[in-house]
Amino acid sequence: MNEPVLPISYEHMDRWVASLQSALLAEAFSSIIGVLRGGAPLALMVSHATGVEPSFLRYRRADRSVTWDSSLPIPQAGSKVLLCEDIAGAGHTLKDCLSFLQRRGLQVKTLTAGYHDLSRLRPDYGIDGRGYFLLFPWERQVNTQAYRDHWVSTGCGRTGQMAQDHEYDAYAIDLDGILLPDIPDQHYAADLQAALCERDQLEPFERLPPLGLVKAIITGRPEMDRARTQAWLSRHGHGETPMIMRDPQLHNDSPEQVAAHKAQATLRLGCTHFVESDPVQAILIAQYAPLLRVIWWDARNGLGRLIGALGWGQQV
């Protein structure tokens, strides 16, 4: 994958569908049909935008079979319908589903959240992703090594059963404010060495966030602090967890740069979740990585909050 990643969030899709509302209403579709599972969110969004009931198709890649999977009957021949799928890709899903409906005498238009240079079909409505690798919210687990290994071992999902998506979740966590208390900034400003010594003597929190598989600790501490930080981690039972520290030559200590360091490291590791102790950092990380599950952990109250950072007034 050499193309830059273009993340398409639920918010992005919702605003895009809203921008098409007038055009979709003018089409007067009798049915909105989503391909399970990737096309289902779009079909529901379009259904809400148009008031037209959604129905669904189920597609099996193993034998390229298409089946009607809905409590509503297949529309009568001659009806005009909208077929929704997440992407018009290089595979056969959209083409086979389109043929299934056309053989039943339906007039079919297509809507996909994206298309790219290798798309077999150009949808009637779609986000132009040419030159990019499009990534959707329900695909965040594909970045994990476990998912990729399983995908390869099952012949791209054809010869074996993949696990449930959530079973591939992988976490990276912040250090200060997650495993141990933060030292106030004014302590560092007043006497750096005394603050570092104070930090070295801190005891870990008794209560940690609810975590899945933790692949790494990603901290904004500079690389020069590695020895003393590793000593603290080893002393308190976290010495085996890989730690990624900030390289000051790549990222300075500004909030924006520290957040960029954490987001980039988390994505390189193929993690699906990042747990951050500072709310501003959490917002910035969510901005840098829109499909990453960013959790702001409030250690004082033992509460976690999912963070999003969609720009206010941002255009589709």
120-176 pLDDT, tens per residue?
899 999 999 999 888 888 777 666 666 666 656 655 555 557 667 667 889 999 999
Query: How far apart are alpha carbons 295 and 173 in whole angstroms?
Result: 9
Instruction: Mention every residue, 6+ apart, whose C-beta is less than 8 A from residue 1.
Output: 133
17-75 pLDDT, tens digit per residue, is 999 999 999 999 999 999 998 999 999 999 999 999 999 999 998 899 999 999 999 99
Domains of the chain: 5-135 (3.40.50.2020), 169-307 (3.40.50)
Answering whether pTM is above 0.85, one says no
Rounded to the nearest 5 degrees, what angle is found at the Cα of 123, between the Cα atoms of 120 and 129? 75
pLDDT band at 316 (very low <50, low <70, confident <90, very high): very low
